Amino acid sequence: MTTPAVPPPPPVPTVRPGTPAPTPEPGAIPPPDIVRAAYAELVVTDPAASREFYVDLLGLVVTHEDEDTVYLRAFEEYLHHSLVLRRGDGAALAALAYRVRSPGEVDAAERYYRALGVPVERRAAGATRGIGPAVRVLDPLGFPLEFFYEAEHVPRLHQDYDLHGAGAIARLDHFNIVVPDVARAERYYRALGFRVTEDIRGADDTLYASWLHRKDTVHDIALTGGDGPRLHHIAFSTHERGQVLHVCDLLGARRRSAHIERGPGRHGVSNAFYVYVRDPDLHRVEIYTTDYYTGDPDHPVLSWDVRDNQRRDWWGNPVVPSWYAEASTVLDLNGKPQPVFAREENHEAEVTVGADGFSFARDTSPQVGSPS
Window 132-191: residues binding a second copy (CB under 8 A): 149, 153, 155-156, 158-166, 168, 170-171
Interface segment toward a second copy; rule CB under 8 A; list 62-70, 131-139, 187-195, 322-330: 322-330
Work out which of 197, 210, 224, 328 binds a second copy, going by CB under 8 A.
Answer: 328
Output the smallest distance, CB 47 to a second copy, in A. Answer: 14
How many residues of this chain interact with a second copy, rule: CB under 8 A? 110
How far does CA 326 lie from the centroid of its chain?
14
Output the smallest distance, CB 153 to a second copy, in A. Answer: 7
Q: Which 82-101 residues touch a second copy, going by CB under 8 A?
A: 90-92, 99, 101
Strand partners, 289: 273
* C-beta closer to a second copy: residue 22 or 90: 90
Q: Which residues contact 200 (CB under 8 A, 6 or more apart)?
A: 207, 208, 209, 210, 269, 303, 304, 305, 306, 311, 348
Give, in degrees to the nearest 5, the angle at Cα 331 between 327 and 332: 145
Interface segment toward a second copy; rule CB under 8 A; list 21-29, 120-128, 135-143, 209-217: 209-217
Q: Which of 79, 38, 45 is nearest to 61 (CA)?
A: 79
Say whether the peptide bond before residue 366 is cis (omega within 30 degrees of 0).
Answer: no
Output the smallest distance, CB 104 to a second copy, in A. Answer: 12
* C-beta closer to a second copy: residue 120 or 234: 234
Which value, in Å, is the radius of gyration of the alpha carbons in the chain? Answer: 21
Residue 295 lies near a second copy (rule: CB under 8 A):
yes
Residue 268 lies near a second copy (rule: CB under 8 A):
yes
Work out which of 67, 117, 293, 350 binds a second copy, going by CB under 8 A.
Answer: 293
Question: 144-161: b or e for each residue (b if 16 or more CB lie within 10 Å)?
Answer: bbbbbbbbbebeebbeee
Output the smallest distance, CB 23 to a second copy, in A. Answer: 14
DSSP class of residue 53 equals I
Question: What is the C-alpha to C-alpha distance for residues 228 and 181, in angstroms, rounded to an integer?
Answer: 9
DSSP 133-165: SEEEEE-TTS-EEEEE--B-B----TT-TTT--
Q: Which 211-250 residues touch a second copy, going by CB under 8 A?
A: 215-217, 227, 230, 239-242, 245-246, 248-250
Give, in degrees to the nearest 5, the angle at Cα 162 between 157 and 165: 85
Instruction: List the x/- string, 45-84, binding to a second copy by CB under 8 A.
Output: ----x--------------------------x-xx-----
Work out which of 14, 22, 68, 102 binds a second copy, going by CB under 8 A.
Answer: 102
Output the smallest distance, CB 38 to a second copy, in A. Answer: 9
**Pairing mode, strands 61-65 and 69-73:** antiparallel
Residue 364 lies near a second copy (rule: CB under 8 A):
yes
Question: What is the C-alpha to C-alpha distance for residues 59 and 56, in angstroms, rounded to an integer?
Answer: 6
Q: Which 3-22 residues touch a second copy, going by CB under 8 A?
A: 3-5, 7, 9-10, 12, 15
